[in-house]
Amino acid sequence: MNPDYQHLYVQAMEGYFAFGLVVASALLIYFYRRKSIFWVPLLPLFVLFAHEVDEYLLSPVLFGPEGHFLNWAYSVGLVISPIDVVVINLGSAVLAASIFFFKQGTKLFAGVFLFMSSAQLANAALHLGVATLQSAYSPGMITALGLFLPMFVFAILQAQRESLSSKAMFALSIIAFIVHFMMILRINAG
């Protein structure tokens, strides 16, 4: 078990994840029902918070302390410190929220949305790949399958609607995968 999985920073972030999911869910429902354009850019943030709740709160309830993301990661050789939990997850939320600065219905918005969705799909690939290799459950697998994959398909459809070229979509997706896995390497190299 990761000796820091109950660290104060981790517990604070778990509260932040739960609060973020409640707020993002409420806003998503509100915007969607009102047919507001803001429901689409809110999706990456909602999906991110749902995933974090899955990893840090839901999985330990279902599988005990071994189901906590930090303990699972530790068991597969990824050592994630409490400060990494804060920096990575707050940074991810800021990046997910940054999509609100781009005008919807443009190629730029579609590209940023696709990049974010591709990075989330890379995270899903990590969860599913390690779970397959281990023949065991990976905390975060529920949202990896149920949210990250459909979100990526939705992002591809958005990009096609805005006439983003196939080459651009492929490049953005590959770059997002590389960025995601470089971040994981950086954590474990430092």
Is the pLDDT at 190 greater than 70? The verdict is no
Is the pLDDT at 11 greater than 80? The verdict is yes
H or E element that contains 171: helix 166-189
For residue 137, the one-letter residue type is: Y
Distance separating alpha carbons of residues 157 and 154, to the nearest angstrom: 5
Distance separating alpha carbons of residues 62 and 106, to the nearest angstrom: 42
**Which pTM value belongs to this model?**
0.92
Distance separating alpha carbons of residues 168 and 175, to the nearest angstrom: 10
Which pair of structure tokens corresponds to residue 35?
A: 């047919």
Would you place residue 185 in the very low, low, confident or very high pLDDT band (cuts 50, 70, 90)? confident
| Total residue length of the chain | 190
Would you place residue 7 in the very low, low, confident or very high pLDDT band (cuts 50, 70, 90)? very high
Distance separating alpha carbons of residues 131 and 127, to the nearest angstrom: 6
Distance separating alpha carbons of residues 36 and 141, to the nearest angstrom: 30
pLDDT score, position 188: 67
Distance separating alpha carbons of residues 142 and 24, to the nearest angstrom: 18
Q: What is the CA radius of gyration of the chain?
A: 17
For 63-121, the pLDDT digits (tens) are 999 999 999 989 888 889 999 999 999 999 999 999 999 999 999 999 999 999 999 99
For 124-148, the pLDDT digits (tens) are 998 888 888 888 889 999 999 999 9
